[in-house]
Amino acid sequence: MGELFLSGGGNAKQTYVIDTHFVRNIRKDKPLLYIPIAMDASRFDDCLTWIQNVFNPLGIQEIVMWKDVKNKNIKDLQQFSAIYIGGGNTFRLLKEFMDTKFTEVIKEYVAAGGIVYGGSAGAIILGEHIMTCGHMDENDVNLHTYTGLQLVNGYAIWCHYNEGNDLLIQNYMKKYETPVICLPEETAVIVNDSVIKVIGDKYAYTFRDGGKTIFHPGNVIT
């Protein structure tokens, strides 16, 4: 398996520690692939400017943006150092991936050692189940299945976490019976095989088996 960088979200200043760690782990002689399709297409150019402003100062000069993932396969991904899946509407993002069968391409890419950075919605879809976004995203694409790519050892991912979300999380767990990793902005986890490690500036949390556990940066989530 490759590596997943799953970020709770935030602006470039908030994710600096996470982004720096990501850059240290990818090749600099290949372009970075950026997939912004969780956002409305009218915002893609602004999205590209945003990601260039994030990563150019960190030494990543070549960034390729895909405006759709139709007819893409594992060979198309091999030219890139890593994939960055951006935030936006989680339902829209998963539906696009499912409709184009890009979910299977991503799974194959990760299984072959590929590196994927998921920011917010991009992180949520890589987890077990996407209804962790149900309190903030509208299902305006009539998605009827909420199973994610299931690449995070059975955990669902809750982004933009704050303690005011705790009751929502408890209700989510009662309904979907899925443990949750909660990531505030400025926090991420790195997933490598069975190891899930916290990085960033704030704590991560898990909700499982009726309890809430805190994990400091550098801790491993079990």
Mind listing the pLDDT tens digit for each residue in 124-151?
Answer: 999 999 999 999 999 999 999 999 999 9
Report the distance separating Cα 192 and Cα 190, nearest Å.
6
For CA atoms 166, 169, 174, 179, the dihedral sign is negative
Buried b (16+ CB within 10 A) or exposed e, 54-68: bbeeeebeebebbee
Angle between the N-to-C axes of helices 102-111 and 90-99, in degrees from 0 to 180, rounded to the nearest 10:
90
- Is CATH 3.40.50.150 the right assignment for the domain spanning 3-221? no
Nearest CA to 135 among 180, 169, 101? 169
pLDDT over 90, % of the chain: 97
* Mean per-residue pLDDT, 40-48: 97
Q: pLDDT tens-digit profile of 2-14?
A: 999 999 999 999 9
Tokens of 212: 């809430």
Chain centroid to CA 92: 14
Residue 210 has pLDDT above 90, yes or no: no
Provide the phi-psi class of 154: left if phi over 0, else alpha when psi is between -120 and 50, else beta: left
User: What average pLDDT does the chain have?
Assistant: 97
**Do the beta carbons of residue 114 and residue 2 sit within 8 Å?**
yes
Which residues lie across from 221 on neighbouring strands? 196
Residue 193 has pLDDT above 90, yes or no: no
Report the distance separating Cα 8 and Cα 123, nearest Å.
8
Say what the pLDDT of residue 115 is.
Answer: 98
Q: pLDDT tens-digit profile of 80-120?
A: 999 999 999 999 999 999 999 999 999 999 999 999 999 99
